[in-house]
Amino acid sequence: MQPDPSLDPASTYTPATRLLVFTGLIMTMVMGALDQSIVSTALPTIVTDLGGLAHMSWVVTAFMLTSTIATPMYGKLSDMFGRRPLLAFSIGAFLGASLLCGLAQGMWQLIVFRGLQGIGAGGLMTLSQTVIGDMVTPQQRGRYQGLFTGAFAVSSVAGPFLGGVLTSALSWRWVFLVNLPIGLLALGLIMFGLPAGRSEAEPQVDYPGAALLAVATAGFLLLFNSVGTALAWTSPLTVLLLAGSVAFFVLFIWQERRAPEPLISLGLLRIASFSVCVAATGIMSFAMMGSLVFLPLYYQLVLGQTPEVSGLMMLPQVGTMMVSSVVGGYVSSRTQRYTLLLAMGVGIEFSALTLIAFCAHHGAPALFFLLSLGCLGVGMGIGMPNATVIIQNSVPPDMLGIATAMMAFIRSLGGSLGVALSGGVMALTLQGRLYALPEKIDVAAFLEKGMAAVQGLSPAMHLQVREAYKAAISASLSVSSSFMLLAFLMIVGLMTRGRRA
């Protein structure tokens, strides 16, 4: 199903307004991408100032919970009322909460304000990608989404560095306050260039569906981020949380089937290219988050790198992703072979993750990891923009917002599940290896202390524990590689189906 060209809203934009809006959208997306990585660098300093070490993880978790829950709501509401008012609300809420975070006087205050910030952040990237789909023709979307992916890659690597600079030179509070000038300028450009929002005569917002989705998503995200750490895999609370989340998702689907204006259009799932690419995007996020989160741990514990060097070792992935996204976007706009390019990108990602898992298993030198990460970045840069383009080109223009939001929602859930499952595999493998060591140690206490415990071991024992970590992390990387293969096979199947049609 392809959008009707006569309904294409791209014709309403002049080159000048398109440039203004695109600049504002890039700034909005950069602001959202920076916020995902800039805060982690400042967390130790924040804890020193505000206290509350035991609750530190909630600074990240609260933001992730609210932003994920809000994402599909922005998509649907922007289809009903237009992009302009929803973007204004999203940026405004994000900036207001950023100011509150910068003024927070206690850890729980900061956690609450981060939750409010997530409500605004849920619309930043989703609505930015949606407006790009509005502004340009379907044939040009690959080029523009490629530029967005490149900017996202730069923002991701700049976040930790910028966070460290701001924290050291000024204060951790500027990690949040820096959003204000960027966001205000972006908001001004977007409000000036975007046309006024449209409003339905009698809008019917699916409030019951929104409530059910919020509860179900919160349950799943809490489960994914607690199981294996705060919650045991087999504890009654884990089972109860899983059962409750599934039950609320079932109720949500029931509500969407009967709602006059459903929050998520289940009919879109009948479009093969849309449903396959959304599912593949979630699986790709699962594989990527499940692998990249644990690579720095491998560098430090197995290869003996410092935290600074382990961070720098991720640069090849970011650099090649930036270049390949821009070049790949240009090629896709010229060739219109979106599915083929997506398959190529995911195939390269699978090959790179397999190489990384192989290098980790055999304890390869750092150079092999750098080369493999470079290949991974190439695959990500080619794959991510084309997945977005296929999804947007598969749906009518009046459903562009919810389609993009569904992709972002599934991608976020997939990433959370990937971290949880890969972390569980790593923890189980590590425990088994540590219990099997000839010299017995207090495994529970050892795992609690982390790297500090490793540094206090004798040379012989350190070597054995390093081998245990090597086996555990390589096992989690193998899981990620297997899931990326599944995403690749799904996209190849979509290509095959398209040729038969």
> Please, which residues have CB within 8 angstroms of residue 475's CB and are 6 or more apart in sequence?
425, 426, 429
φ, ψ (nearest 5 deg) of residue 288:
-70, -50
Identity (one letter) of the amino acid at 410? I
How buried is 231 (Cβ within 10 angstroms: 0-12 exposed, 13-18 middle, 19+ buried)? middle
SS3 227: strand
pTM, two decimal places: 0.77
pLDDT of residue 9: 52
* pLDDT at position 309: 72
Please state, in angstroms and rounded to a whole number, the distance separating the CA atoms of residues 144 and 332.
10
Q: Please give the pLDDT value at position 83.
A: 80
Structure confidence by residue, pLDDT tens digits, 443-452:
555 555 555 5
d(C-alpha 131, C-alpha 13), whole Å: 11
Confidence at residue 96, expressed as pLDDT on a 0 to 100 scale: 93
Reported as a single tens digit per residue, the pLDDT across 157-166 is: 666 667 777 7
Q: Is 394 helix (H, G, I), strand (E, B) or coil?
A: coil
Per-residue model confidence (pLDDT) at position 451: 53
Q: What is the pLDDT of residue 229?
A: 58
Q: How far, in Å, CA of 414 to CA of 334, rounded?
A: 31
Please report, for residues 216, 247, 270, 283, the alpha-carbon distance to residue 420 in angstroms, rounded to integers and kept in the order given: 17, 21, 30, 14
| pLDDT-flagged residues of the chain (< 50) | 1-8, 501
Query: What is the Cα–Cα distance from 15 to 60, expressed in whole angstroms?
Result: 39
Q: Contact, 468 vs 433, CB < 8 A?
A: yes
CA angle at residue 303 from 60 to 288, to 5 degrees?
Answer: 40
Q: How far apart are CA 340 and CA 153, in angstroms?
A: 23
| Each residue's pLDDT tens digit, 131-154 | 887 777 777 777 777 777 777 777
Q: Judge contact between 323 and 374, C-beta under 8 A.
A: no
CA pair distance 239, 248, nearest whole angstrom: 14
Q: Tell me the three state secondary structure of residue 265.
A: coil
